[in-house]
């Protein structure tokens, strides 16, 4: 009866960092003076595709909205195919860039247009997945090891 019961002390490998304590940091080799300057020690789990896409598109100051506003200052309407958002998220995940990497991916895709925008006669730019892929391929992002 008692031997078949599952142990409650079992921790999955990907969850082990969520149980880190200041004494663990000390045993790892950090000096107590440095540990004392960290009032809270916490672990954050990686963001998934849905969370990254939400960061890219949903908030009031979402990255996509920031770039649209930037182009709007030059009287240019910037638009994206829906599949471009998914592609940007895929690239950020493939290169393990996280949420901060979304900006790097967007920069790689839009750099040429940002350079040309002030003198453009066209008043709209539409970004397709094919264009985004081509820009990523020729950017320095493709050199980042995954």
How is the chain split into domains, by residue range?
A: 1-45, 49-143
**Reported pTM:** 0.76
Between 9 and 31, residue with greater pLDDT = 31
Average pLDDT score over the chain: 90
Contacts (Cβ under 8 Å, ≥6 apart) of 2: none
Relative orientation angle of helices 82-94 and 129-138, to the nearest 10 degrees: 30
**Domain made up of 49-143: CATH architecture:** Orthogonal Bundle (1.10)
d(CA 111, CA 58): 22
| Whether the Cβ atoms of residue 89 and residue 136 lie closer than 8 Å to each other | no
Token output for 128: 């397709």
For the chain, the first-to-last Cα distance in angstroms comes to 48
Looking up tokens 């949420």 gives 99
Average pLDDT over residues 117-139: 95
Question: pLDDT of 22-41, one tens digit each?
Answer: 999 999 999 999 999 988 88
């Amino acid at each position: 009866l008692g031997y078949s019961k599952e142990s409650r002390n079992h921790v999955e490998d990907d969850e082990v960092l969520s149980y880190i304590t200041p004494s663990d940091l000390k045993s790892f080799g950090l000096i107590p003076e440095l540990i004392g300057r960290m009032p809270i020690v916490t672990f954050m789990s990686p963001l998934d595709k849905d969370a990254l896409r939400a960061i890219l598109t949903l908030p009031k100051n979402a990255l996509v909205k920031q770039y649209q506003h930037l182009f709007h200052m030059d009287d240019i309407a910037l638009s994206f195919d829906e599949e471009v958002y998914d592609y940007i998220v895929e690239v950020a995940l493939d290169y393990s860039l996280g949420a901060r990497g979304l900006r790097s991916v967007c920069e790689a895709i839009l750099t040429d247009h940002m350079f040309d925008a002030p003198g453009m006669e066209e008043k709209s730019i539409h970004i397709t997945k094919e264009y985004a892929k081509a820009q990523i391929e020729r950017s320095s992002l493709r050199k980042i090891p995954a």
